[in-house]
Amino acid sequence: MNVVIPKETLENETRVAATPGTVKELIKFGVEVHVQSQAGLSSHISDKDYEDSGAKIIDSKEKLFSQADIVLKVLPPTLDQIVLLKPKTVMVSFCQTTRDIDTVKALKEQSVTGFSMHLIPRTTLAQKMDALSSQANIAGYKAVLLAASRLGVYMPLLMTAAGTIRPAKVLVLGAGVAGLQAIATAKRLGAQVEAFDVRPVVKEQVESLGAKFIEVNSNEDEGVGEGGYAKETSEDYKQRQQDLIHEHISKADVVITTALIPGKPAPLLIPREW
């Protein structure tokens, strides 16, 4: 059985679906691992690193995909990659099945079985496969560092001989895995942090990290979905939410948006001129 690791083709995508360490684990199960040449360069992994772990390096994309029994990818496969796959191949990637409709149709037409890492349930049994949480942790952490490096003021309170410099005000929208990590990172840098989430149950977690929870008075299950995710709220709630957030966002130096609803596109926040 051949497990193949292709090179990600999307610009600015630096991840790769397997490391030399995970290649060794796969080989222990008796499979062959084929890695596309230069697949790991953006992750600082050379072809020699993969070869030393037991993988075979394949230069040709056509040869790589046509011989695959299992494909491990970060992003969903492109249509030109799917047509190279033989029937009954298994594809594992971060495919959002409710959004990547053309990809799902192409996989079906090619008789390829797809597994979406987005759909791994949030249960104790599946915790080791919860790839979304690991990526969300990194996103929340890096979001604060990126904001701090571009901010025109300091994150922490600074006492100087010339006077006191107030700490930056950070507003985090969404208190899931990424949001909580963003809150914790901003607090460690000394910022004043506020957070909003449609799920009242996360209030205790937000406050335990030292942030202020912005709360819209509503039914307890207004924004609480299945599996710990948020869900769509009523129009009345949305209006009261917008009014409340407008009040706080106008005073913030940094706004970090992490809120996601399964199956919905990520929110796009258009910055206005301050």
Shared domain check, 156 and 112: no
Longest dimension (CA), the chain: 72
What counts of helices (H) and strands (E) characterise the chain? Answer: 9, 12
For the segment 242-273, what is each residue's pLDDT rounded down to a tens digit?
888 999 999 999 999 987 666 565 554 444 44
Q: Decide if 265 is inside a domain.
A: no
Which residue shows structure tokens 């491990």? 72
Q: Decide if 108 is inside a domain.
A: yes
Distance between CA atoms of residues 250 and 202, nearest Å: 24
The first and second tokens of residue 48, run together, are 């020699």
CB 152, CB 130: distance < 8 Å = no
Domain count, the chain: 2
User: In terms of residue numbers, what domain contains 221?
Assistant: 130-257
Residues that are catalytic = 122, 127, 130, 133, 229
Q: Decide if 267 is inside a domain.
A: no
Task: Identify the CATH number of the domain in which residue 26 sits.
Answer: 3.40.50.720
CB 182, CB 144: distance < 8 Å = yes
DSSP 129: G
Shared domain check, 93 and 8: yes
Residue 221: CA count within 13 A, CB half-sphere: 2
How would DSSP label each residue in 127-148? GGG-HHHHHHHHHHHHHHHHHH
Shared domain check, 208 and 153: yes
Q: What is the pLDDT along the chain (274 residues), one digit of tens a residue?
A: 999 999 999 998 999 999 999 999 999 999 999 999 999 999 999 999 999 999 999 999 999 999 999 999 999 999 999 999 999 999 999 998 988 999 999 999 999 999 999 888 878 888 888 888 888 899 999 999 999 999 988 999 999 888 899 999 999 999 999 999 999 999 999 999 999 998 888 999 999 999 999 988 766 555 455 555 555 667 777 788 888 899 999 999 999 998 766 656 555 444 444 3
Shared domain check, 147 and 251: yes
pTM of the model: 0.77
Q: Decide if 273 is inside a domain.
A: no
Shared domain check, 105 and 167: no
